[in-house]
Structure 1
Amino acid sequence: MLSEDERRDRRERRRQDLRRRRLGALGGLLLAIAALTAGIVVGSGGDEPSRGGGQAASGQGDGEEAKPVPPPQLPRGGRRIFPDNRVVAFYGAPNAAALGILGIGTPTRAGRKLQKVARPYVRAGRKPVLPAMELIATVASGASTGGRYSYRQPRAFMDRYLKAARRAKALLLLDVQPGRADFLKETRALRKWLREPDVGLALDPEWHVSDTQIPGKALGSVEAADINRVSKYLSGIVRQGNLPQKLLIVHQFTPGMIKNRSQLRRYPGVALVMNIDGFGNRADKIAVYRDLAPRGRKLGRGFKLFYEEDEGLMSPREVMRLRPRPDVVVYE
């Protein structure tokens, strides 16, 4: 039987191998972007995301009163994500299977598979399920890319996945792997989509490094104060647009990945979730989850499942037996 130190070393070696494979996939993704973008037709009408939370237009004619526009809803109704729903998400990037299940096949096909995977959680968790597509919008890179060590996906990609998410009545979550860039700056660059009622955000501190480090070679982290700034910014968007509650996921698999986590704050209109990304066998995954999953109701809890890296994928029923029970389940 392996000692705890040996198990920890094994997990770290596997995590390093995973980061190397992801960086290799990112290189291929960079080469494919130009060709893929050329094949995406974004119309000037129906392809443009419709704005939520707008005010009613003035009357249709003289003497007619404008009808009030109801506030925008979540994809499957209502304006509050938690505790009314459980979120089940697919994670990934376009045409990059090594970066997650969402990148396999077309967005529409991924949406259909997501709905199928999410369905058993309704019965296992005894709660409505809200599907979500977690699309890597800012992608960490081992290349400098102007000193950022990350690049932003083309706007057409985000629009394409938002359309697919809406067909599946799912949320779109834009994932940020900033490299040496700043989380808040990258979040502001996504404002066009974050103003939509069905678009949330995810932060990936593993890929947030200092000015002397390279993503994939160094394990990144984030300060609680930086997360608070992003959360406050999202809260402002929710307030200004009278939007439904907005989901903010922060990924974590080591204690030091979120520094000063106890200082995280809750902001109105934002559901903040710590998603625990341990992988390997069931015992290791459950141990990492128990160590890092927040207690109480201040922060939501998430749990990630890896199709390739996990040793035997846990079933929805097994996931729902976790204590505390996760509010979010992400498949990569």
Structure 2
Amino acid sequence: MTGPHRVAAVLILGLALLLAAFTDPGHTNRDRDRAPAAAVPPVGPAAEPTPGTPAPPNLPTGTPRWRSERVLPDRGMLVAYYGTPGTGSLGVLGETSPRKAFRRLQRAAAPFERPGRPVRPVFELIVSVADGHPGKDRDFSHDVGRAAVQEYVDAARDLGALLVLDLQPGRTDFLEVAKRWEWALVQPHVSLAIDPEWRVRRGQRPARVIGSVGAGEVNRTSAWLSRLVVEHDLPEKLFVVHQFRTSMVRHIGRVKARDGLQLLQHVDGFGNRGQKLATYRAVARPDIFAMGFKLFYDEDYNRMGAKAVHRIRPRVRFVSYQ
């Protein structure tokens, strides 16, 4: 084949191969392992999701939700109303309906917001309430009715709030009481708090003594809650320990961190500003916990505002109003 004919043949062959690459049905299969190009989002009405369409997953495959969905806002804080359903005697949350309480909570939380530091609203609901009498179980505590608690579970979910179930167990082990609330704790937005003030021993009565709990019981309860989070692939939960005396949590240095839980120590002392800060500094263990702080509408004198709370060190990440 002469030189000019050879060049022409090569050009024709190359053109044929190029054409085949774009018409070959197997072309797409060869590229199927490549990452698809990002879709351009629709504009206007077409951008609205179809009703009932589930949200697309947004986590890398195999990543537990508790590792990616943190309960504390990044650099932000939580602000809560505290109480029990149907009465204001134990806190402001029970003074009105959940939805009306939420509007009041939003107003209380607004001063805590800072640029780049979001605030998340919280209902902290006492669901096992300590009693001064033994009751039918002889444990000096009773559970709030499921229907009343369900109302807060539903309202918190609908309103975008976190719900923390608070336990005052009387003479019963915290773990035993916590298990009774598993039906609510499997919800992604529901967390747990334990209040050692109301954990009394045999022969003691709530309100006549200040109760306490050992680190072993704390760890058994947190281990159970951690398993619940991991096994149900839930977002991270708060595990709150209320405290205003060092004696309320025995051997606190032995409290263990847990997968899927953010441990938080909530310092509950009331009084004037100096008294509250003295209690906080005496009790705080930021080496183990994120820190919480309670503000009392009635018991505090010259109650702290948001600016004063932001100045507290170690830094407060959770504030509740009672």
Partner amino acid for 1:217? R
- Aligned pair partner of 2:235 in 211, 234, 244: 244
- Aligned pair partner of 1:219 in 210, 223, 248: 210
Q: Whole-Å Cα distance in 1 between the matches of residues 307 and 57 of structure 2?
A: 40
Contact 1:115-1:168 within 8 A present in 2 as well: no
Q: 3-state SS of the aligned residue for 1:163?
A: helix
Unaligned segments of structure 2, at least 5 residues: 1-53
Cα offset, 1:223, TM superposition: 0.6
Output aligned runs, 1:1-332, within 5 Å: 79-82=69-72, 84=74, 85-123=76-114, 127-145=117-135, 146-296=137-287, 298-332=288-322
- For 1:184-204, what per-residue CA distance to the aligned partner results, in whole angstroms no more than 9, with x for missing partners? 001000000100100000101
Q: Which residue does 1:10 correspond to in 2? A: none
Aligned residues: 262
Q: Whole-Å Cα distance in 2 between the matches of residues 240 and 193 of structure 1?
A: 15
Q: 3-state SS of the aligned residue for 2:241?
A: strand
- For 1:34-89, what per-residue CA distance to the aligned partner results, in whole angstroms no more than 9, with x for missing partners? xxxxxxxxxxxxxxxxxxxxxxxxxxxxxxxx997567989xxx710236241111
- For 1:227-262, what per-residue CA distance to the aligned partner results, in whole angstroms no more than 9, with x for missing partners? 111111111111111111100111000110000000
Dislocated runs of 4+, deviation >2 Å: 66-74
Identity %: 42
Q: 3-state SS of the aligned residue for 1:115?
A: helix
Contact 2:125-2:165 within 8 A present in 1 as well: yes
- For 1:119-175, what per-residue CA distance to the aligned partner results, in whole angstroms no more than 9, with x for missing partners? 22122x851111110100000001111211000111001110112212331111100
Q: Whole-Å Cα distance in 2 between the matches of residues 115 and 310 of structure 1?
A: 21
Contact 1:139-1:176 within 8 A present in 2 as well: yes
Q: Which residue does 1:16 correspond to in 2? A: none
Q: Whole-Å Cα distance in 1 between the matches of residues 286 and 313 of structure 2?
A: 10
- For 1:72-125, what per-residue CA distance to the aligned partner results, in whole angstroms no more than 9, with x for missing partners? 989xxx7102362411111101122120010111111111111221122122x8
Q: Whole-Å Cα distance in 1 between the matches of residues 205 and 116 of structure 2?
A: 43
Q: 3-state SS of the aligned residue for 1:302?
A: strand
Q: Whole-Å Cα distance in 1 between the matches of residues 271 and 311 of structure 2?
A: 18
Q: Whole-Å Cα distance in 2 between the matches of residues 126 and 222 of structure 1?
A: 38
Partner amino acid for 2:88? A
Q: Whole-Å Cα distance in 1 between the matches of residues 73 and 224 of structure 2?
A: 22
Q: Whole-Å Cα distance in 1 between the matches of residues 218 and 78 of structure 2?
A: 21
Q: Whole-Å Cα distance in 1 between the matches of residues 312 and 58 of structure 2?
A: 38
Q: Whole-Å Cα distance in 2 between the matches of residues 67 and 265 of structure 1?
A: 35
Partner amino acid for 2:102? G
Q: Whole-Å Cα distance in 1 between the matches of residues 190 and 73 of structure 2?
A: 18
Structure 1 residues 67 and 112: alpha-carbon distance in aligned structure 2, compared to 1, 3 A threshold:
closer
Q: Whole-Å Cα distance in 2 between the matches of residues 190 and 83 of structure 1?
A: 25
TM-score, with length taken from structure 1 = 0.75
Contact 1:112-1:168 within 8 A present in 2 as well: no
Unaligned segments of structure 1, at least 5 residues: 1-65
> Whose radius of gyration is greater, 1 or 2?
2
Q: Whole-Å Cα distance in 2 between the matches of residues 285 and 222 of structure 1?
A: 22
Q: 3-state SS of the aligned residue for 1:262?
A: helix
Q: Whole-Å Cα distance in 1 between the matches of residues 154 and 194 of structure 2?
A: 22
Partner amino acid for 1:136? I
TM-score, with length taken from structure 2 = 0.78
